[in-house]
Amino acid sequence: MFVFSDNLSEALEKLKLASTDSATDSVESCLDCLLKALANNNTEASMKIQEMGVLPLLPTLLNPQSSCTPKVANIIAEVAKNEFMRSPCVEAGLIPPLIQLLNSTDQEVLLQTGRALGNICYDSQSSKEQFASTNIAEELVRLFQKQTEHEKKEMIFEVLAPLAENDVIKLQLVEAGLVECLLDVVAQTVDGEREEDIAQLKTASDLMVLLLLGDESMQKLFEGGKGSVFQRVLSWIPSHNHQLQLAGALAIANFARNDGNCIHMVDTGIVQKLLELLDRHVEEGNVTVQHAALSALRNLAIPVVNKSKMLSAGVADVVLKFLQSEMPPVQFKLLGTLRMLIDTQAEAADQLGTNGKLVERLVEWCEAKDHAGVMGESNRLLSALIRHSKSKEVVRTVIQGGGVKHLVTMATSEHMIMQNEALVALGLIAGLDLGKTEKDFVGASLVSVLHKLLSDERSAPEIKYNSMILICAVMGSEPLHKEVQSLAFIDVVSKLRAHENKTVSHQASLTEQRLTAQS
């Protein structure tokens, strides 16, 4: 190790001298020594290179005419594999000369330059921010427009992808015309059979979706729904190519990130396109396409004005075709889409809530211990069907399906919003059909769950309020009434009369009166 360290120090010293008098041979042998040291122990050698102040010497060595250039770019690429070297590379002024080298015709120079730029901006927020203040976006797009060879395009893609994760650079890339390039690549490769066509189509359409993840870049491309880019992406959805269908659906899901866009898209008939796409994937089920199309529908269903329009278009019926799916990501999105659709829509909640097959599947998914997301969404949909329909038939369907115990468990969730949704649904069950559900309430220890929620200092005011409402609602059942008496609820409730929240303290007084009257 010591020998290696001394050799390296010597080579670095030589390099400092040699780089000033541009004696190519001596520089070349120093560079070879550096590459050997990096291959031997990258981290140690990089630290040494940093300590000895070699990085600032490298820009002058990145000369398009010099035979050393590929080795210098290779050294930068190797050094930038270390997180701690990425910012120093930017600070040493390596970005502009590397960007210039992308114009080179030498394959080896291009390869090493691409690696160097890719590694410097890989996973590093700070270096991406520094890239944002250079003209790299314009340079890369200009370069891309000139390329005809697959390898060169791929190499530029590899540098673009990590850069495009930064929102400022996303916008710069859009402004520099990258989107038009990507659309051209898609048009050229969509019917291609060759490996490289398929690879390019995937890279270009993925990058397109990535650009839409930035709010500003997305809004710029949407152009009030009139944008040519938006129109072109729409045409991907009916495509026969799975990769394009996927990118099209993901793009719609990304455009659907604010109410205005969602309302416009539903009014211009996008829902029909997505439903036709889903219909094609019920049988030949491509899971990623199913997931993306359901994500788009879920987002489109968020604005209240869209819900009834989407229900009339038959969204719920198509979504229900995927009830048999065994894929948790698809199950998760299916549940989310139905929950969004029935929010405030009593008739739809009634219709879905009395669908025995759906309720049965929800109860099954409420037990999906390995998939917390699916479990949570099933519980929330079960509760939503009751809360939005307020229907005795729905309550009966849930009781018969065995859903009550899951709602009681949901009341103990660590998420307050879920606790609250559960308590409101349980209150409706007790109010609409206490006789039928009494046995389930006893079996699920509802009363002791409510006692815990009321005694817990950390319970939010609305949780305390809804727990007391529920206590009053179950008093009409003899076995539940007995349980309430045996747990000394009066002590807990009378303490809540002094609660700082007026609604809670008022409900505590009413509940205390009720408990005293019926003791």
Please give the Cα distance from 151 to 109 (Å, whole number): 13
3-state DSSP assignment of residue 134:
coil
The overall average pLDDT reported for the chain is 91
How far is 518 from 494, CA to CA, in rounded Å? 15
**% of the chain with per-residue pLDDT over 90:** 66
Cβ neighbours for 135, distance < 8 A, ≥ 6 positions apart: 99
Query: In the predicted model, what is the mean pLDDT of residues 94-103?
Result: 87
Largest CA distance in the chain: 102
Reduce the DSSP state of residue 469 to 3 states and report it.
helix
pLDDT above 70: residue 372: yes
d(CA 235, CA 221): 15
pLDDT digits (tens, 9 = 90+) for 409-448: 999 999 999 999 999 999 999 999 999 999 999 999 999 9
Give the rounded percent of residues in the chain with a pLDDT score beyond 70. Answer: 96
Among 63-77, 143-157, 299-313, 322-336, which is the least confidently predicted range? 143-157
Model pLDDT, residue 505: 96
Instruction: Give the Cα separation of 319 and 322 in Å (integer).
Output: 6
Average pLDDT over residues 162-188: 91
Tell me how far apart the alpha carbons of residues 407 and 304 are, in angstroms, rounded to a whole number. Answer: 26
Decide if pLDDT at 250 tops 90. Answer: yes
Whether the pLDDT of residue 482 is over 60: the answer is: yes
DSSP state letter for 64: T
The DSSP-derived string for 210-271 is HHTTSHHHHHHHHGGGT-HHHHHHHTTTT-S-HHHHHHHHHHHHHHTTSHHHHHHHHHTTHH
- The yes-or-no verdict on residue 187 having pLDDT over 50 is yes
Q: How is residue 105 annotated by DSSP?
A: -
